[in-house]
Amino acid sequence: MTPEQLSQIGADEAAARASAPQRLYVCMAAGCISSSSDAVKKSLEAAVAERGLKGTCPVTGVGCMGLCSRGPLVSAEPAGILYQDVSPGDAGEIVQSLSGEPVARLQCSRDLPFFKRQVGVVLENSGRIDPERLEDYVAAQGYEGLVQALTEMSPAEVIEQVSRSGLRGRGGAGYPTGLKWSTVAKAQAATKYVVCNADEGDPGAFMDRSVLESDPQRVLEGMIIAGYAVGASRGYIYVRAEYPLAITRLNVAIRQAKHHGLLGTQIANTEFAFDIELRLGAGAFVCGEETALIASIEGGRGTPRPRPPYPAQAGLYGAPTLINNVETFANIPAIIRKGGDWYAAMGTARSKGTKVFALTGKINCTGLIEVPMGMSLREIIFEVGGGVPEGRKFKAVQTGGPSGGCIPEQFLDMPVDYDSLAQAGSIMGSGGMIVMDDSSCMVDVAKYFMEFCMSESCGKCIPCRAGTAQMYDLLAKISEGRAGMGDLEMLENLCDMVKNTSLCGLGQSAPNPVLSTLRYFRDEYLAHIQEKRCPAGVCAIKQEANA
Amino acid sequence: MNPAAPDVKTLRIDGVDVSARADQTVLEAAREKGLSIPTLCHLDGLSDVGACRLCLVEVKGTSKLMPACVTRVEEGMEVTTQSDRLLKYRRMILELLFAERNHVCSVCVANGHCDLQWLGQAHGLTHVQFPYRYPKLSVDASHMRFAVDHNRCILCTRCVRVCDEVEGAHTWDVMGRGIESSVITDLQQPWGESDTCTSCGKCVQVCPTGALFEKGRARSVVKDRDFLPYLAMMREGKR
Amino acid sequence: MSKVRLATVWLDGCSGCHMSFLDMDERLLDLAGRIELVYSPLVDYKEYPENVDVVLVEGSISSEEDLHKIKKIRERSKILVSLGDCAVTGNVPAMRNAFKTGDVLRRVYVENVSVPSPTPNQVVPALLPRVCPVHEVVPVDVFVPGCPPSADTIFFTLTELVEGRRPDLTGRTRFGA
Ligand SMILES: Cc1cc2nc3c(=O)[nH]c(=O)nc-3n(C[C@H](O)[C@H](O)[C@H](O)COP(=O)(O)O)c2cc1C
Ligand code: SF4
Ligand code: SF4
Ligand code: SF4
Ligand code: FES
């Protein structure tokens, strides 16, 4: 496809939209589908047909609109009226209202800070385009970045823009993306690979799933640009098999991109060729670790191996391999289109751009948000997220999943960026935020995450395999009121040892939830140990323990 | 001073000046100098996996501990192989192993020539601070000549590697995750029914503990592992 | 100098450690001048005395009785020595831990006997669900692994203790020695 053909698709699409004065968008991402948005879509279609509006008011399935807890969500465009908790029975009323006043009963205000405070880069199209139509993506400036990169920029110039943007990897560790790209670009090898890490396995995280379900073409575009920049001609997306909808949409997206000459050979009429294949993971958390992921793509057992060599030096099949997270790739098209400086203008000194977070737990607006880096936790939780429900008291927020930590109230005004979170004893991780109120017991929380790490440990190295099991047993002992102070000391010793001696990030960070809760909520541990009491009333203290 | 040849690196290990080929590991360089670093998963002649973490050493300039068996020597490197911290971690690793499965040395076929046992002794381990886990594990004695006792397995994967890399049979592999991991023969068939096992006995020889042993001996003889570097050397020579 | 008040205790073990103790032979006479044996299965005292300086504990904690005894022993002794693998690791007695107590008793008293006899539930103390080494129940001061520790090891341990030093057993003994 030539640049001219691309703009033609965009123009045709715009014309088609103009001919339909009204449109109804129904969220068809996993969150809303789980509350039967597909049935809502069917009845809306029926209601539209009944009133003979089929030509003038198409009903379109779109990606995630963010406020997952209020699903199914429907929006009436171009007015932008948002309806929440829609049931199939509401369809007639909604279609009727298109020519009059909105249905007040179902309306969800767009003036909520939840919407107002967000900045869409990765999610700019989310909830606004049909993820199964390439034309929709193109109409929203999709693939402009790719065509620009291929026709106007050298690979080095592409990397230059990525470096200037200050983008850091969104998969957890926050490694500078530009630096990683240039390492792979500099590697001398006939074959190189680009791998997209879509294994997302942290409990409470669904950022990557949502991006793939809502705007899959964006991830493909990011990967193709990366392939051009580093000199690779083949890419893999490693996605967990538990994400069937994301897989379907990726397959559709790949097929459409190939059909339009944006993937395969002679991309955008240039000499550049790039192909993308899906690889399904069986849902082991450790397969998100890059070396384990590579082993799994190769058909081996998904266990990490020591680094160096890093994948950028010797990765998939021994070739230099660029491996980035879904959200990292999803940032790329906008960075190329608008320039690295535009991106770098958002965020803080060392954490640029925006970040997608999955808000869950004891928070009013459960769902997916994208905000500039550096927004404070208080703003995210109490403004965007609408605060803690039922008038209960905020206690802590868990970030970074099983590798992260719990951040207490006194840090609420801290800006959310890589460095501040690390200083507070947690990590950015992939963007999961689990809010806890005073009904949570921090020993119980630590035990939950340790159980996760214990069962997800690959078993290769001793500290993680046997250490997490011992730590879990100790936490269980503490929570049941059977532990003494010696057990706490043993737990702290194990945390130190497992953190410093484990082979991969899973083991190295498995003690974090324990360490951070010990740092800020030591009194709760002591209450379980010395007073045989669970202050939050969560843990079942064994009767004989009191004797 | 002679400028070092390009493929030779000079480094300091425990204050001793050491020179090594660029493709050597810290472990190899140290051992050639007679400096000892404890290992369990490493075995001369097999690929390294860096799994047991006993060989972790301190390298000046990084706060991360590095596994000596997979860390290449570098010019000017300063390595510490013995420190209070390393000793503490190594002890804890050994203790975790003793507590993980059922090690009853007094009635074990490997008593007296077991790597785990003597490493424990060498590290002054007089008891295990962690609670013993006492998992219920099986013994597979279906093979005509050999048996595997999972109670004694430390999951070093030496058997897996020797069978794959040296014998070429790949009878052994690892199944399961975390604390539930286990070595298996073929697709978890009884060893005696394995189609791929050639009964060469290499796995038995490389096993550091009493997990793999030859039947019919009250106490296994001292295992012979010298054949491995020899085999590796001969094969390289042929290439 | 007053004599060191020594006790030796036999919990769930095979008495091999006590045999090894006796194996010190004539060295026992050396020790005798500096030690007063205040309690032991080798002599006939009924009640564990107060103010014991050093106690050698053989055997693991396997029954309610062992548990009861070891707590009293700990209270009344200054230095508690876990002697031998059963006390230090649980050793052979702990091999039953992978099984349920009921299954173990059935195996012993029902399945494996030629003349069936009832499973004892009187006089004999009840088994604990899980056999454990001494230090999982009470603090232990000195660990002497070995099955059994050699007479030399025991002699070294006792001489050091009598001299008021903590014995360093590194390299002298090991599990299963
Ligand atoms: C246990 C473990 C699990 C991980 N899981 C993921 C994951 O699900 N998705 C991901 O993108 N990165 C994951 N990572 C990080 C990857 O190893 C790697 O750093 C990342 O994919 C690099 O991409 P980025 O530079 O774009 O962040 C995980 C790391 C560890 C140690
Ligand atoms: S740290 Fe855990 S997950 Fe990572 S290699 Fe070791 S056992 Fe496997
Ligand atoms: S394998 Fe080694 S450590 Fe384990 S019981 Fe046998 S001799 Fe002891
Ligand atoms: S059977 Fe022996 S060689 Fe194989 S993993 Fe277990 S301990 Fe290692
Ligand atoms: S010998 Fe290096 S990690 Fe095991």
Neighbours of C165 (CB within 10 A): 9
Predicted local distance difference test score (pLDDT) of residue B226: 74
Pairing of strands A234-240, B182-185: unpaired
CB distance A398 to A360 below 8 Å = no
Per residue in A139-157, pLDDT (tens digit) is: 999 999 999 999 999 999 9
**What are the tens digits of pLDDT across the range A389-441?**
998 999 999 999 899 999 999 999 999 999 999 999 999 988 999 999 999 99
Tell the CATH superfamily of the C4-96+129-162 domain: NADH:ubiquinone oxidoreductase-like, 20kDa subunit (3.40.50.700)
Percentage of chain A beyond pLDDT 70 is 99
How many Å apart are CA B176 and CA B40, to the nearest integer? 21
Residue B126 with chain C: CB contacts under 8 Å: 88, 143-145, 169-170, 173
Name the one residue in this structure whose structure tokens are 């030779």. B8
Q: What pLDDT, on a 0 to 100 scale, did the predictor assign at position A543?
A: 63
pLDDT for res C77: 98
Any ligand 3 atom below 6 A from CB of B99: no
How many other CB atoms are there within 10 angstroms of residue B214's CB atom? 16
The highest-level CATH class for domain A17-110 is alpha beta
Query: Is a pLDDT exceeding 50 seen at residue B56?
Result: yes
Asked whether the beta carbons of residue A469 and residue B181 sit closer than 8 angstroms, the reply is no
In the prediction, which pLDDT does B236 show? 66
Ligand 2 contact, A304 CB (< 6 A) = yes
- pLDDT category at A546 given cuts 50, 70, 90 is very low
How far apart are the C-alpha atoms of A61 and C8, rounded to whole Å? 81
A509 to chain B nearest CA, in Å? 13
| Ligand 3 and B158: CB distance under 6 A | no
Q: Taking 80 as the threshold, does the pLDDT of residue B221 lie above it?
A: no
Contact status, residue A28 vs residue A37, Cβ threshold 8 Å: yes
| Residues whose CB falls within 8 Å of the CB of residue B237, separated by 6 or more in sequence, listed in order | none
Q: Most C CBs within 10 Å: which of B90, B91, B100, B105, as the mutation test of the C interface?
A: B105
Q: Report the gap between the CA of B107 and the closest CA in chain A (Å).
A: 24
Measure the CA–CA gap between A183 and A207, rounded to whole angstroms: 27
Mutation test residue for ligand 2: of A285, A291, A303, A494, the one with most atoms within 8 Å of CB:
A303
> Cβ contact (<8 Å) for A497 and B92?
yes
Closest approach of A295 to chain B, Cα-based (Å) = 13
What is each CA distance from B36 to A232, B27, B32, B95, in whole angstroms?
44, 8, 9, 20
Separation CA A343–CA A350 (nearest Å): 13
The pLDDT of residue A545 is 44
Question: How confident is the prediction for chain A on average, in pLDDT?
Answer: 94
For the ranges A16-20, A463-467, A524-528, C70-74, the lowest mean pLDDT is seen at A16-20
8 Å CB contact of B130 and A490: yes
Burial A151-187 (b: 16+ CB within 10 A, else e): eebebeebbbbbbbbbbbbbbbebebbbebbbbbbeb
- Tell me which H or E stretch contains A499: helix A485-501
Cβ(B11) – ligand 5 distance below 6 Å:
no
User: pLDDT tens across C53-79, in order?
Assistant: 999 999 999 999 999 999 999 999 999
Q: The whole model's pTM is what?
A: 0.94
- Give the DSSP H or E segment for C80: strand C77-83
pLDDT value at B5 more than 60 = no
Q: Domain limits of chain A?
A: 17-110, 141-344, 354-437, 442-546
Ligand nearest to the CA of B28: 5
Q: Report the residue from C95, C135, C171 with minimal CB separation from B127.
A: C135
Q: Chain B closest CA to A433's CA: distance in Å?
A: 26
Paired strand residues for A26: A61, A74
Supply the pLDDT for residue A544: 56
- How far is C1 from chain B, CA to nearest CA, in Å? 31
In whole angstroms, what is the distance from residue B211 CA to residue B182 CA? 12
What pLDDT, in 10s, does the model give residues A443-494?
Answer: 999 999 999 999 999 999 999 999 999 999 999 999 999 999 999 999 999 9
A504 CB within 6 A, ligand 1:
yes
**Using CA positions, which residue lies closest to atom 29 of ligand 1?**
A289
The answer to whether residue C130 neighbours chain B at the CB level (below 8 Å) is yes
* CATH code of the domain made up of B104-236: 3.30.70.20
Nearest CB among B104, B111, B112 relative to C92 is that of B104
- Taking the C-alpha atoms of residue A333 and residue A342, their distance in angstroms, rounded to an integer, is 13
Does residue C92 contact residue B106 with C-beta atoms inside 8 Å?
Answer: yes
C155 pLDDT above the threshold of 60: yes
CA of A311 to the centre of ligand 2 (A): 17
Chain A residues with CB within 8 Å of chain B CB:
284, 286, 301, 305-306, 454-470, 473, 490, 493-494, 497, 500-503
Give the per-residue pLDDT at A38: 94
pLDDT of A376 reads 96
Whether C94 sits inside 8 A of B135 (CB atoms) is: no
For the cut 60, the answer to whether the pLDDT of residue B3 exceeds it is: no
User: With contact defined as beta carbons under 8 Å apart, do B191 and B142 qualify?
Assistant: yes
Pick the most confident of A18-22, A35-39, A53-57, A487-491. A487-491
CATH number of A442-546: 1.20.1440.230
C136 CB neighbours in chain B (<8 A) are 131
Q: Which of B143, B159, B144, B152 is nearest to B114 (CA)?
A: B152
Q: What is the pLDDT of residue B216?
A: 83
Q: Say if B130 is an interface residue toward chain C (CB within 8 Å).
A: no
A458 C-alpha to ligand 2 centroid (Å): 5
- Minimum mean pLDDT among A109-118, B197-206, C141-150: which range? A109-118
pLDDT tens by residue, B179-220: 999 999 999 999 999 999 999 999 999 999 999 999 987 655
Which pLDDT belongs to residue C120?
A: 77
User: What confidence tier does C153 reach under pLDDT thresholds 50, 70, 90?
Assistant: very high
Min distance C18 CA to chain B CA atoms (Å): 17
pLDDT recorded at residue B239? 40
Q: Which residues of C touch B107 (CB under 8 A)?
A: 92
Are the beta carbons of B52 and A462 separated by less than 8 Å?
yes
User: What is the predicted pLDDT for the residue at A35?
Assistant: 92
pLDDT value, residue B218: 61
Touching partners of C (3+ C-beta pairs < 8 Å): B
Mean pLDDT (chain B, rounded): 92
Tens digit of each residue's pLDDT (9 = 90 or more) over B89-140: 999 999 999 999 999 999 999 999 999 999 999 999 999 999 999 999 999 9
- B128 touches A: beta carbon within 8 Å: no
Fold classification of A354-437 (topology level): Ubiquitin-like (UB roll) (3.10.20)
DSSP assignment of B84-147, as one string? HHHHHHHHHHHHHHHHHTT--GGG-TTTTS-HHHHHHHHTT--S--SPP------EE--SSSEE
Going by their DSSP bridges, the two strands A354-361 and A367-372 should be labelled as antiparallel
Determine whether the shortest distance from the Cβ of B67 to ligand 5 is under 6 A: yes
Report the pLDDT averaged over residues A244-265: 96
CATH for the stretch B8-82: 3.10.20.740
For range A283-309, the mean pLDDT: 95
Q: How many residues belong to chain B?
A: 239
Looking at residue A338, what is its pLDDT? 97
Task: Give the residue ranges of DSSP H helices in A153-206.
Answer: 155-165, 177-186
pLDDT at A547: 38
Position B1 scores a pLDDT of 47
What pLDDT does residue B146 have? 96
Indicate if the pLDDT at residue B4 is higher than 70.
Answer: no
> What backbone torsions phi and psi does residue A382 show, to the nearest 5 degrees?
-95, -25
Chain B contacts of A488, Cβ < 8 Å? none
Q: Is A121 helix (H, G, I), strand (E, B) or coil?
A: coil
- The domain segmentation of chain B, as residue ranges, is 8-82, 104-236
Which residue, judged by its Cα, is nearest atom 6 of ligand 2? Answer: A461
What is the biggest distance separating any 2 CA atoms in chain B, rounded to whole angstroms? 63
- pLDDT at A322 exceeding the cut of 70: yes
Q: Which CATH class is domain A141-344?
A: alpha beta
**Measured between CB atoms, which of A459, A473, A501 is closest to B155?**
A459
Which band of pLDDT confidence, cut at 50, 70 and 90, is reported for residue A33?
Answer: very high
Would the CB of A424 count as within 6 Å of ligand 2? no
